[in-house]
Structure 1
Amino acid sequence: MVAALLLAIVLAPSAAIVLILLTRRPRWAEGLNLTASAIAFLAALPLPALSLSGRHVYWNRYVILDPFGAWVILCAAIVYLLASIYAVGYMRLLNEEERLPRFYALFAGFGLTTLIGPMMNSAGLYWIAIELTTLVSTFLVAFERAPEAIEAAWKYIIVVSGGISLALLGTVLFYWAGSFVLGPRYDMTWAALRNAAPQMNPALLLLAFLLVLIGYGTKVGLAPMHTWLPDAHSEGPAPVSALLSGALLNTAMVGIVRYLAIIEAAHPGPLPRAALVVLGAFSLFVAAMFIVRQRGIKRLMAYSSVEHMGIMALGFGFGGPLGVAGALYHMINHSLNKSLMFFGAGSMMRSYETKDIGAIRDVGRRFPVIGTLWLAGAVAITGAPPFGLFASEFTILRAGLRGAHVWAAMVMALLLIVIFIAFLNHFRMMYFTPPDSEAAPMRPVSAWCVAPMCLAFVPLLVFGLWWPETIWQYFGAITHELSAGTLMALR
């Protein structure tokens, strides 16, 4: 059963890529990509429940499904489906009919790479999967061929490739450290590294972990390695921005969390978690400073991604049942919320024909439906109740206040207040400032663009009002898996 579902997740977008390139018809390309995303979502939906029966290893131990990987796959599948729906309406506005098959082939490839990353049971194969996400998404960032988009794509591939090179060096050092325990040739699975970690050289382990933390932290968008993210997220088409923020960053976070579990098995002291906490807190600080003075609508969303990945890093860094549960809950809520926000930003950008926040006015009156959804998403993305991100951020704060990094929890609370005020002030200007002159006719927003915003908003609200007990238990199982310790009761 599990093997068939994983195979469907891989084959659906792969088949879509082949068929799109063979047919080369825009409407066929839309339909094929949308069908592939729906199949991937339906196949990913039962994986968390099925993963609780234990680790599922397939295909010569190259592929694994565990509770943590299943959760990240589900988050990626949700964003892939929502972005594929939105892309139908958004991409038709670009008047690029001849190039649409190429876009959807790349888009399906991007979705595929974000889905297979969490499945990789080998540290080396995981690195390859992350590098593939870079190669595919670079062309999507530059798809609109504006000078800014091309510059952003070059910056993206150069900065991220530099970071991934450091991650490769860290991976090699992990293998080398393992070779003193397991011999010169061994399967570099996550379990093999973790079992051998207590006998590895502690100094070599720490160096290797810091390298992979910086390397994969670059891909995650943690400050100060985040410099590619605002440009890439703001210059790519809106559905690509949603997939970058809501799926790719989570997939890259997998590497950091799995390596953290490996080095924690060696009991190296407080440094690994402290390094992750410092990067998370600094990411929040950088995001807050840029959100306050931001003028570009999609760059505002991009710096919000830096903020939320910093919060997620704090959750995993704090650790324990509350920290891990908060980070995992934050992962799905951020995926839903940021998809909604980029969809709204893309629609407003096309309707007003500008990226400048100062030129977008009277949104609520001109677009009652999408404007209401976008404003509600803006309140949610700041961590305000009654939405899902409030629940996850509050849980992470509780974890920080109970642990050894109380200072980071205090910094997090302060910066979240700053971000709340600054972010909603931008929306106050866009919604409640009258236009300077007679309002020009607005380009209507397609139902294809509104529908995925509704689909993202409903669970975001539900998750804020109701945190199901089954999800608590599931997160407890992941905490136990990552810590290899005694499962503690979540309070």
Structure 2
Amino acid sequence: MIETWSIVIVVSPLVAAVICAAFRHARAAEYANLIASFVCVLAAFSLACNVKDGYRFLHDYVVVDALAVWTLVCTALVYCLASIYAVGYMRLLAEERERLPNFYALFALFAATMICGPIMNNIGVYWIAIELTTLVSTFLVGFERGREAIEAAWKYIIVVSAGISLALLGTVLLYWAGSLVIGPTYDMTWDALRHAAPQMSPALTQMAFLLVLVGYGTKAGLAPMHTWLPDAHSEGPAPVSAMLSGALLNTAMLGIARFLTITDAESSSLLPRTVLVAFGAFSLFVAALFIVKQQGIKRLMAYSSVEHMGVLALGFGFGGPLAIAAVLYHMLNHSLNKSLMFFGAGNVMRVFGTKDMGEIRNVWTRFPVTGALWLAGAVAITGAPPFGLFLSELTLMRAGMASSNAWAVIVMLLLLIVIFIGFLNHFRAMYFETRPTADTGGTNSTVSVSAWMTVPMWLALVPVLILGMWWPQDLWRFFERVAADLGGAAR
């Protein structure tokens, strides 16, 4: 059963990509991608219900364990919501209608590469999967072919590829460290390296981890390696931005978490976790600075992603079952919530014809329903109650106080307050300030927000609200299993 669903979740978007490329019909491409996304959600939840101790197949190249499955659930949900939204959003790009099959083929292929990453059981093949996500998503970032979009695509592939090269160097270094214990040739599985880690050189393993942290941290959007992220998120189509933020960043963060288990097994040194916590705290600091003074609407969402990846880094750095549970809960809520925020930003951008928040006013008047959903999402993304991110961040701070890096909890709390004030101040201006020239001049009255662009906002907000008031007991047990797989000991 697990093997079947694992194949289904990978093959479905690949089949959709082939259909989109072969038939060259916009409507066929829309629905092929949409159906594939529904199948992926079904497969992901089926895997979550059946996964136990980690299932391996294809000569141990594929591992389906609790951590991988949780990442697949987040990815599949974002892929599904973004696919629904893309139907309405991309139809507004009338000049791109002939290129829509290309878009959906790339979109489905992007989903397939992100799905492959978490289930790779070989550190080298995992690196290849992450690099493939970069190659495919670059074309999506520059899809609209504007000057800024092309510049963002080039910046994205150059910066991220440089980071991934460091991750490759760290992977090679770790392989070398393992070869001194296991032998010159061996299967580079996560388990094999964890078992060999106690006999491996501490200097080599820790240096390898630091290189991997910088490399995959670049892909995950941790500061100061985040420089590609604001441009890519800002210039890509809104459904692509949702996929980049809500799914891709998690896939890269998973690699850091898995490599961390190897350094944990190698020694009791606090260096790897302390460095990871420092990167997380610095990411929150950078996000706070740029959110307060930001002018671009999607760049605001992008720096929010830097913030939340910093939160995940803090959680993995703290370690322990409670911190791991908080991280995974945060991962799900952020994926849903950030999708909602990019959907709302896409709606506003299309109607107002601008990305500049200074030109966007009276959102209530133009979007009575969509505006309410977007504002609720803005409150939620700042970690305010009664939404899911508040619960995950509160749990994470509780876990952090019991760790050896308790100082980071104080930093986190102070910066989250700054981000809360700065982020919602922008929304206060867009919703409650009046600017006569923005009432009519900047609004495109011919653009209407269809149900395709509103329904996924509801589908994202409702779970975030429910998860803020109720943490299902089954999820606790699932998270305990992940913590056990990751070595769960607090540091």
Over residues 207-238 of structure 1, what are the superposed CA-to-partner deviations in whole Å (9 max), with x where a residue is unaligned?
10100000000000000000000000010000
Structure 1 partner of 2:467: 463
Residue matched to 1:167: 167
State the match for 1:399 in structure 2.
399
What is the CA distance between 1:485 and its match in structure 2? Answer: 6.0
**2:310 — aligned with what?**
310
Matches within 5 A, 1:469-480: 469-480=473-484
Q: Secondary structure at the match of 2:294?
A: coil
| Match in the other structure for 1:481 | 485
Q: Residues 328-347 of structure 1: matches in 2 within 5 Å?
A: 328-347=328-347
Q: Residue 429 of structure 1 aligns with which residue?
A: 429
Shift of the 24–277 alpha-carbon distance from structure 1 to 2, 3 Å rule, reads same
Question: What do the CA deviations read for 1:108-150 (whole angstroms, capped 9, x no partner)?
Answer: 0001111110010000010000000000000000000010000
Matches within 5 A, 1:242-321: 242-321=242-321
- Aligned partner of 1:73 in structure 2 is 72
Identity %: 65
* Matched residue SS, 1:137: helix
Q: Using the alignment, how far apart are the partners of 1:191 and 1:345 within structure 2?
A: 42
Q: Deviations over 1:14-54 (max 9, x none)?
A: 11111111100000000000011111111101222311x21
How far apart, CA to CA, are the structure 1 residues paired with 2:361 and 2:306? 26
Q: Distance in 1 between matches of 2:339 and 2:203?
A: 41
Aligned to 2:267, the other structure's residue is in SS state coil
Matches within 5 A, 1:89-238: 89-95=88-94, 96-238=96-238
Aligned CA distance change for structure 1 residues 423 and 485 (closer, same or farther; 3 Å): closer
Which position in structure 2 is the counterpart of 1:390? 390
Greater mean alpha carbon deviation, residues 149-158 or residues 39-48: 39-48
Runs of 4+ in 1 over 4 A off after TM superposition: none
Distance, in Å, in 1 between the alignment partners of 2:59 and 2:435 is 62
The alignment's C-alpha RMSD in Å is 1.0
CA contact (8 A) 1:383 1:393 kept: yes
The answer to whether the 8 A contact 2:56-2:64 is kept is yes
Distance in 2 of aligned mates of 1:229 and 1:448:
27
Change (3 A) 1:472 1:484: closer
Aligned length: 485
Structure 1 pair 420/4, CA: closer, same or farther in 2 (3 Å)? same
2-structure distance, mates of 1:397, 1:485: 17
Residue by residue, what CA displacement relative to the aligned partner does 1:219-277 show, whole Å, maximum 9, x if unpaired?
00000000000000010000000000000000001110000011101124110000100
CA distance in 1, matches of 2:489, 2:210: 23
Q: What is the CA–CA distance in structure 1 between the aligned matches of 2:231 and 2:405, rounded to whole Å?
A: 32
Separation of aligned partners in 1, 2:48 and 2:398: 25
Secondary structure (helix, strand or coil) at the match of 1:143 reads coil
Q: Which residue of 2 aligns with 1:31?
A: 31
Structure 2 counterpart SS, 1:478: helix
Distance 2:284 2:313 in 1: 10
Tell me the distance in 2 between the aligned counterparts of 1:144 and 1:136. Answer: 15
What's the CA shift for 1:62? 0.7
Given that residues 205 and 263 in structure 1 are in contact (C-alpha distance below 8 angstroms), is that contact kept between their aligned partners in structure 2?
yes
Secondary structure of the structure 2 residue equivalent to 1:64: strand
Q: CA deviation at 1:446?
A: 1.0
TM-score, normalized by length of structure 2? 0.98
| 1:390-438 superposed Cα distances (whole Å, 9 cap, x missing partner) | 0000011111112111211000000000000000000000000123235
Using the TM superposition, give the Cα deviation of residue 364 of structure 1 relative to its aligned residue in structure 2, in angstroms: 1.2
Is it true that 1:450 corresponds to 2:449 in the alignment? no
Tell me if structure 2 keeps the 8 A contact 1:170–1:207.
yes
SS in 2 for 1:121: coil
Structure 1, unmatched stretches of 5+, are 487-491
The AA in structure 1 aligned to 2:206 is L
Q: Unpaired runs of 5+ in structure 2?
A: none
Q: Secondary structure at the match of 1:422?
A: helix
How far off its partner does 1:321 sit? 1.4
**Do the aligned residues in 2 keep the contact of 1:202 with 1:268 (CA within 8 Å)?**
no
Moved more, 470-479 or 161-170: 470-479
Cα separation, 1, equivalents of 2:482 and 2:31: 36
* Deviation, structure 1 residue 441: 5.5
CA contact (8 A) 2:319 2:489 kept: no
